[in-house]
Amino acid sequence: EAEVAQSPRYKITEKSQAVAFWCDPISGHATLYWYRQILGQGPELLVQFQDESVVDDSQLPKDRFSAERLKGVDSTLKIQPAELGDSAMYLCASSPHPVASVYNEQFFGPGTRLTVL
Amino acid sequence: AQKITQTQPGMFVQEKEAVTLDCTYDTSDPSYGLFWYKQPSSGEMIFLIYQGSYDQQNATEGRYSLNFQKARKSANLVISASQLGDSAMYFCAMNERDAGNMLTFGGGTRLMVKP
């Protein structure tokens, strides 16, 4: 069964360092999402891609976060510099449905758990 | 204002019994979708069930059913015949057409199934 792949699964870094997370969506899924999930809370959307274009990044802290999906397939989320408050699970999801579809079942990867010391 | 509210931080249920997890939502968009996801301790989010705002009937998927009460803006998840493997966090989520169909999640309910 096709799955969303994410790496690394765990990342420990010191504050002010740069970190990067990678996501490979299910083949053929044009829509890709990055979420941040703080422990004990629900996921919060950071950025949404349709193919290689950013559809919405209004919740992305752009002074330190960046996201790209250059060829419209896999995607990278970067944090530079990392801060203590960035410790969270970073989840990637993909959907076969376009952004315009209300039926928007999203398939999630296993996530990257980031700890900033 | 919270878009999605899950008022039960934690719930216990006896194995083989049914349990209802509450979810209320807030929107003025006539076109929206409601989703439930399960998150085991391993961390991945597993899609369970979907209800569209124009759907006339309550959604069902195996042991999962969604009790959709549009006028009350509630979308409760009912799990029948609970199993030990149902122990997990459960998240209710909504998307709205006028908000670009982005998913907004509630705070979650931790369900614990007792043997």
pLDDT digits (tens, 9 = 90+) for B16-59: 999 999 999 999 999 999 999 999 998 889 999 999 999 999 99
Q: Which residue out of B21, B34, B44, B48 would a mutagenesis test of the A interface target, given it has the greatest number of A Cβ atoms within 10 Å?
A: B44
- B29 touches A: beta carbon within 8 Å: no
B42: number of Cβ within 10 Å? 9
Distance, in angstroms, between A104 CA and closest chain B CA?
7
Which two three-digit tokens encode residue B77? 């998840």
Contact across the interface for A111 and B97, Cβ inside 8 Å = no
**Measured between CB atoms, which of A42, A103, A107 is closest to B105?**
A42
Contact list in A for residue B104 (CB cut-off 8 A) is 45
**pLDDT grade, residue B105 (50/70/90)?**
very high
DSSP assigned state of A25: P
φ, ψ (nearest 5 deg) of residue B8 = -105, 100
Distance, in angstroms, between B47 CA and closest chain A CA?
7
Percentage above 90 pLDDT, chain A: 81
Task: Mark residue A74 as left, alpha or beta (left: phi above 0; alpha: psi -120 to 50; beta: remaining).
Answer: beta
In the chain, the amino acid numbered B30 is: P
B36: number of Cβ within 10 Å? 25
- Residue indicated by tokens 């990257």: A112
Closest alpha carbon within chain A to B91:
A42
Residue A102 has pLDDT above 90, yes or no: no
Residue B1 has pLDDT above 70, yes or no: no
Rounded-to-10 torsion of CA A62, A105, A26, A32: -20
CA distance B33 to A52: 25
